[in-house]
């Protein structure tokens, strides 16, 4: 199973910690005949397995189309907004979603910006908009499209990580970052093209797979 970039040390630590707990449990059982601690061991193994699984990075085939905007994250659509020349949507990720962030368009990264903030739960999006965030700005000069992908932390998701930097050239659907343990991802598209949403509130989307909007 492929894992998110930068999480190898965490995964190795969790595996080592689970193995140590396993060994200690059998030592305690052997010396004292006390076996109830195996329940605690089971909970530790389950928790560690879930954390490792949350770092997964499955392969995805992406259909590239300059007239389509792809979802930047897995999750459920919480907000959509359309106005002249701008479309905006907000995606809430659950702990069970893949936590990789993908580029909705092809182009050049013009800027990444990290901003400190609060850690409100993602289930309160109005408050969560004040949370710590990582903003990734991308421009497709040929298609005349500007995209701003914002990774927003939550009560458990304390790390928003960008894998790209200003000047990088990226493909549509390429992985550009990750949010550990899920939270919110917003997308704002500015373009002279008239993009229309193909999704609505409460729809479930998949990063690099779901078409959020399409040019008329």
Q: Is 169 left (phi over 0), alpha (psi -120 to 50) or beta?
A: beta
CB within 8 Å of 204: residues ≥ 6 apart: 75, 76, 77
> Both tokens of residue 68?
């389509």
Q: Which of 18, 183, 186, 191 is catalytic?
A: 183
183 is catalytic: yes
SS3 call for 69: strand
Instruction: Name residue, tokens 């990063």.
Output: 207
Alpha-carbon torsion, ordered 204, 206, 207, 208, to 10 deg: -130
Tell me the C-alpha distance between 46 and 15, whole Å: 11
Tokens standing for residue 90:
């907000």
Supply the residues annotated as catalytic.
Answer: 183
């Amino acid at each position: 199973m492929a894992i998110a970039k930068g999480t190898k040390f965490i995964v190795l630590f969790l595996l080592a910690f689970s193995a140590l707990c396993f060994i200690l449990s059998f030592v305690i059982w052997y010396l004292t005949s006390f076996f109830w601690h195996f329940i605690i061991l089971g909970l530790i193994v389950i928790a560690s397995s879930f954390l490792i699984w949350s770092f997964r990075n499955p392969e995805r085939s992406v259909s590239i189309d300059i007239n389509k905007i792809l979802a930047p994250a897995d999750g459920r659509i919480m907000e959509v907004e359309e106005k002249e020349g701008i479309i905006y949507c907000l995606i809430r990720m659950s702990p069970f979603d893949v936590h990789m962030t993908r580029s909705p368009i092809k182009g050049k990264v013009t800027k990444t910006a990290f901003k400190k903030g609060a850690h409100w739960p993602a289930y309160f999006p109005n408050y969560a908009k004040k949370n710590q965030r990582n903003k990734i700005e991308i421009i497709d000069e040929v298609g005349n499209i500007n995209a701003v992908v914002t990774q927003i932390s939550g009560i458990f998701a304390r790390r928003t990580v960008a894998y790209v930097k200003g000047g990088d050239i990226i493909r549509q659907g390429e992985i550009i970052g990750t949010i550990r343990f899920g939270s919110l991802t917003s997308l704002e598209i500015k373009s002279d093209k008239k993009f229309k949403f193909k999704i609505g509130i409460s729809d479930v989307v998949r990063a690099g797979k779901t078409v959020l909007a399409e040019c008329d």
